[in-house]
Amino acid sequence: MEGIVGYGAYIPRNRIKVEEIAKVWGADAPSYKRGLMLEEKSVPSPDQDTITMSVEAAKNALRRCLINPKEIGAVYVGSESHPYAVKPSGTVLAEALGATPEVHTADFEFACKAGTEAMYVVLNLVKTGDIKYGLAVGADTSQGAPGDALEYSAAAGAAAFIFGHENVIANALESYSYMTDTPDFWRREYQYYPQHGGRFTGDPAYFKHVVGAAKGIMDKAGMKPSDFEYVTFHQPNGKFPFRVGKMLGFEKKQIETGWLVNKLGNTYSGSSPLGLTAILDVSKPGDKILIVSYGSGAGSDAFIFEVTKRIDKARDLAPKTRELLDNNRCYLEYGEYAKFRQKIKKAI
Amino acid sequence: MREVAVIGVGMTKWGELWEKSLRTIFVETALLALDDAGVDKIDSMYVGSMSSGLFVGQEHIASLLADYLGQVPVPSARIETACASGGLALRLGFMEVASGMSDVVLVSGIEKMTDVNGYEATYALGTAADQEYEGYHGITFPGLYALIARAHMEKYGTTREQLALVAVKNHLNGSKNPLAQFPFEITVDSVLNSVLIADPLRILDCSPITDGAAAAILCPVEMARKMKKQVVKIIGSGHATDAIALSSRKDLTWLEATYQAGKRAYAMADKKPEDIDILEVHDCFTIAEICVLEALGIVEKGKGGQAVEDEVTYLDGKIPVNTSGGLKAKGHPVGATGVAQVIEIVKQLQGEAGKRQVKNPRIGMAQNMGGSGGSTVVHIFERE
C-alpha cells in the first residue's frame, strides 16, 4: 500500500515570548496566553527562509528512508512565504537533495493548507504508479503585521514527507478534501502582511471546514473518533484545535501529542504537518492517525494513516520534532526579532 | 392629536449574521412586524440607522429597504441620531400617525456592523462623538464612558462591583431571551477579571458589536381597537439634545438630554417616575444604565449603583430594568436598539415576554440615547 516512507521536521532555534511582544504594544499578555493558549513562537534567522527550512526538513525525511534521491519523481513545496514571486522554491530544494533533473516540481499556495495540498498530490501521483517516490513539504516563515493579533502566533517551521509504495512507515488509508470560497484571510500581490476578517476566521471559516473535512473522511473510511490513537488539526492558536476536537468528539489525549502551537506558534503550511511528525515520533505499529489541515480562502485536506512496523526502524534516524522544539532554544528581544523578520527598514 | 397604538412588532435573532445582508435582515424583521399587525400595506416608513455607509458602504437605505419590502412608492425616510436613531424613528412615526397624516406607519431600525473589522467598527461608532474636540484626541466611546464612570465613582462612591452588577443583571435577563446575542449568565468575578478596555471599564461592561434589526407597526388607537384585543398605546414621547462633547457638560455624571426628554415624556403622558412599572434603558456601558436611571428620576441622584446592588432593578425587583437583557446581553446594532426596546416593552405589557415576564406591568418606558448622551428619546407606553 502507498504511504509515508520517510518524514522529517525542521524548527528554527530562535524563539520570542508572548510577553516580549505584548510589552512593546502595551497589550495584555495574560489574555493572549489564556485566551489563545500561546506562550512563545519560533522565529527564523535572517538567513533562513521557506527554501532553507524545506531543505532541512527534507534531509531529515531522507535520513529516515535511505532512498536514492534520484528516485524521487516529484518535489512539491507548499508555502505562503515562497521567497520568490517568480521562480520556484522546489527547484532549489530538488537540486539541494540531488533529485534533479528527472523530477517534476511545483510550488503550492493555499494559505495554511499548502503543505497538505502538496501531500495530497504526491500521494495520489504515487498511487497512479507514475512515480516511485514523491516529496511533499509544508514550510513557512509566516508574516504577521507588527501589533496585529497574528504577530503573537505567526511562526516558522517545515515538515517533509516522502511517499512511496515500499518500506512504508504509515499506510495512507484515505485522503479527502473539503473546500468553499470563503474570504477569511488574504494577502494581495505586493502586500507584505496578510489581512484577516477577525472573528469571521472562526465559525464560518476554520470550524466549518475542519469539521467538514474530518466528518467527510471519517464517513468515507467508515471510522469514528474513538478508532484513532491520535489526531492533529491545523493549529492557528492553542484553543482552536481543542475546540474543534471537542466538537468532533475527540478527547484531549488524542490531540495533545501533535499539539505544538503553545511553544511553536502557527507555522502556517507547516502546522498540521509538523503535528503529524510529532505523532509519528512516538506512534506504534497499528496506530491510526487523522490529520486535518486548514487553509484560509478556504479549505481543509484530511488523511488517515495507519502506522506499520517499519516505524521502529525509521523513528530514531533523524531528530524528533519535540527535541527540535524543546532543545537549543535562543530567546530574542523584540528588537532582534524585528530585525530578523525585516520589520525594520534600513537605508540600503 | 390622535392617540397612537403599537399593533405589531418584529425581531429576529441578533448576533454575527454573516450569512445575511442588510436588506435580508431588514425584510425578514419587517415582515414579522407586518404579520404580527395583520396588515400588508403601510402608508409610510422610517428606518433608524446610524452608519450604514461606514458599516456596509450603503447609503440611501430608506428607499432601498422600502423597495425590498415591496412597499414602493410609500414615503420612506432614514433617521440618524447616532445610537438613538431607532428611538427617533419611532417618535417620527408616532408624530405622523398622531397628526392624522398617515394611518399605518412602519418604524424600524437596523445596523449591520460585523462586515467590517473591530478597528473600522470602532471608528464608525466614534463618529458619534465630537470629531474636533474628542475624536481628534483619539478618544473612543469606551474612553468617554470610562470618564463618566470614574467621575460617578469619585462623586457618589459608586463601586466597581456595582458597575459589574449591571452587566450581571442584564445577562441574567438576557439568558431568558432567545433572540439575544449573548443569552447566558455571567458573574461579578468574570466581569472584574475580563480584559481591561478603558479603566475602570472592562470588556464585560461594554455592549457588543451586533447585526440586527427591529420593526414595529403604529396606527391610530381607534383602528387598533378594531384589530386587537389588547391595545398598547404610546402615551408619552420626549426628545432632547445636549452638547455631544463631554467637555461641554457642567457635570460628567448628569445626562441632561435624558432628563429633558424624560420630563417631556412624563408631561405628555401625565405620569411620574413612580408610575412606571418596567423600563428599557440604554446600557451601552454599565455606567450608562446607572446615570440614565438617575436622570429619569427612577432613583435618586447618585443612587443608581446602590439600586442595582439592592436588586431594585432586577426582574423581580421593585422596578425591573432591561428585562430584555439590555444592550449588554441582547446586543447593540445601534440603529435598531431604540425600536427593540419598544418591542420588549410591548411584549411585557401584553404578557408575552416568556420566561422573563414581569408580573402584570401596565406602564412601561423606553429610553434610547445617542453618543455619550448628546441626544435622547424617551417613550412611555400603556396597556389599555
Contact with chain A for residue B267, Cβ under 8 A: no
CB contact under 8 A, A199 and B196: no
* Neighbouring residues of A119: CB distance < 8 A, sequence distance ≥ 6: A78, A136, A138, A161, A163, A273, A301, A303
Rounded CA-CA distance B266/B260 in Å is 10
CB contact under 8 A, A28 and B195: yes
Chain B interface test: which of A34, A195, A200 (most B C-beta within 10 Å): A200
- The residue type found at B72 is V
pLDDT tier for residue A123 given thresholds of 50, 70 and 90: very high
User: Å from B290 to nearest chain A CA?
Assistant: 28
Rounded CA-CA distance B325/B345 in Å is 12
Residue A2 designated active-site: no
Tell me A324's DSSP state.
Answer: H
Does the N-terminal peptide bond of residue A194 adopt cis geometry, omega within 30 degrees of 0?
no
Tell me A161's DSSP state.
Answer: E
Other beta carbons within 10 angstroms of residue B150's beta carbon come to 18
Task: Delimit the domains of chain B by residue range.
Answer: 4-117+210-227, 129-207+236-383
Per CB-CB distance under 8 Å, the chain A contacts of B114 are 199-200
Chain B interface test: which of A199, A207, A208 (most B C-beta within 10 Å): A199
Q: What is the CATH number of domain B4-117+210-227?
A: 3.40.47.10
Lowest model confidence (mean pLDDT) among A18-32, A154-168, A227-241, B96-110: A18-32
> pLDDT per position in chain B (384 positions), as tens?
999 999 999 999 999 999 999 999 999 999 999 999 999 999 999 999 999 999 999 999 999 999 999 999 999 999 999 999 999 999 999 999 999 999 999 999 999 999 998 889 999 999 999 999 999 999 999 999 999 999 999 999 999 999 999 999 999 999 999 999 999 999 999 999 998 999 999 999 999 999 999 999 999 999 999 999 999 999 999 999 999 999 999 999 999 999 999 999 999 999 999 999 999 999 999 999 999 999 999 999 999 999 999 999 999 999 999 999 999 999 999 999 999 999 999 999 999 999 999 999 999 999 999 999 999 999 999 999
Residue A222 reports pLDDT greater than 90 = yes
The C-alpha cell of A132 is what?
Answer: 516511485
Q: Who among A28, A31, A198 is closest to B118 (CB)? A: A198
Chains A–B, number of C-beta pairs less than 8 Å apart: 14
Residue A35, pLDDT score: 86
Cβ-contact A146, A175 below 8 angstroms: no
pLDDT tier for residue A197 given thresholds of 50, 70 and 90: confident
List the one residue out of B92, B40, B32 whose CA is nearest residue B71.
B40
Q: Give pLDDT tens digits for B274-303.
A: 999 999 999 999 999 999 999 999 999 999
Q: Do domains B4-117+210-227 and B129-207+236-383 have the same CATH topology?
A: yes
User: Å from A198 to nearest chain B CA?
Assistant: 6
Nearest chain B alpha carbon to A29: B195
Catalytic residue selected from A65, A117, A234, A306: A234
Residue A63, pLDDT score: 98
- What phi and psi, each to the nearest 5 degrees, are found at residue B272? -120, 165
Residue A80 designated active-site: yes
Largest CA distance in chain A: 60
CB contact under 8 A, A204 and B19: yes
Per CB-CB distance under 8 Å, the chain A contacts of B202 are none
Instruction: Name beta bridge partners: B13.
Output: none
Rounded CA-CA distance B384/B382 in Å is 6
Per CB-CB distance under 8 Å, the chain B contacts of A204 are 18-19
* Residue B259: exposure state from Cβ atoms within 10 A (0-12, 13-18, ≥19): buried
Alpha carbon distances (Å) from B132 to A205, B126, B129, B146, B246:
39, 12, 9, 20, 12
CATH architecture assignment, domain B129-207+236-383: 3-Layer(aba) Sandwich (3.40)
Lowest model confidence (mean pLDDT) among A20-34, A282-296, B165-179, B314-328: A20-34
pLDDT tier for residue A31 given thresholds of 50, 70 and 90: confident
List the one residue out of A129, A112, A116 whose CA is nearest residue A76.
A116
Other beta carbons within 10 angstroms of residue B370's beta carbon come to 27
Domains observed in chain A: 3-169+315-340 (3.40.47.10), 170-307 (3.40.47.10)
To the nearest 10°, report the CA torsion of A182, A184, A187, A188: 50
Nearest chain A alpha carbon to B121: A198
CA B349 remoteness from chain centre: 17
CB contact under 8 A, A197 and B117: yes
Cβ-contact B168, B187 below 8 angstroms: yes
pLDDT tier for residue A239 given thresholds of 50, 70 and 90: very high
The C-alpha cell of A321 is what?
Answer: 520534532
User: Å from B122 to nearest chain A CA?
Assistant: 14
Residue A190 reports pLDDT greater than 90 = no
Rounded CA-CA distance A115/A113 in Å is 5
Rounded CA-CA distance B51/B334 in Å is 9
Residue B261, pLDDT score: 98
Per CB-CB distance under 8 Å, the chain A contacts of B16 are 199-200, 203
Residue A348 reports pLDDT greater than 80 = no
Catalytic residue selected from A40, A56, A80, A229: A80
Angle at the Cα of A169 (from A168 to A174), degrees rounded to 5?
80
Per CB-CB distance under 8 Å, the chain A contacts of B19 are 204
**Average pLDDT value for residue range A252-256:** 97
Q: Give pLDDT tens digits for B151-178.
A: 999 999 999 999 999 999 999 999 999 9
Question: What SS3 string covers chain B?
Answer: CCCEEEEEEEECCCECCCCCCHHHHHHHHHHHHHHHHCCCCCCEEEEECCCHHHHHCCCCHHHHHHHHCCCCCCCEEEECECECHHHHHHHHHHHHHHHCCCCCEEEEEEEECCCCCHHHHHHHHHCCCCCCCCHHHCCCHHHHHHHHHHHHHHHHCCCHHHHHHHHHHHHHHHCCCCCCCCCCCCCHHHHHCCCEEECCEEHHHECCCCEEEEEEEEEEHHHHHHHCCCCEEEEEEEEEECCCCHHHCCCCCCCHHHHHHHHHHHHHHCCCHHHCCEEECCCCEHHHHHHHHHHCCCCCCCCHHHHHHCCCCCCCCCCCECCCCHHHHHCCCHHHHHHHHHHHHHHHHCCCCHHHCCCCCCEEEEEEEECCCCEEEEEEEEEC
Contact with chain B for residue A28, Cβ under 8 A: yes
- What phi and psi, each to the nearest 5 degrees, are found at residue A37? 55, 50
Residue A103, pLDDT score: 98
- The residue type found at A17 is K
pLDDT tier for residue A346 given thresholds of 50, 70 and 90: confident
Residues 166-205 of B with CB under 8 A from A: 195-196
Contact with chain B for residue A34, Cβ under 8 A: no
Rounded CA-CA distance A337/A43 in Å is 7
Per CB-CB distance under 8 Å, the chain B contacts of A28 are 195-196
Catalytic residue selected from B83, B206, B284, B291: B83
**Helix or strand or coil: residue A196?**
strand
User: Å from A241 to nearest chain B CA?
Assistant: 22
Residue B260, pLDDT score: 98
Chain A interface test: which of B115, B195, B202, B203 (most A C-beta within 10 Å): B195
Per CB-CB distance under 8 Å, the chain A contacts of B116 are none
Alpha carbon distances (Å) from B316 to B246, B278, B283, B311, B361:
35, 11, 19, 8, 12
- The residue type found at B95 is M
Rounded CA-CA distance B209/B17 in Å is 11
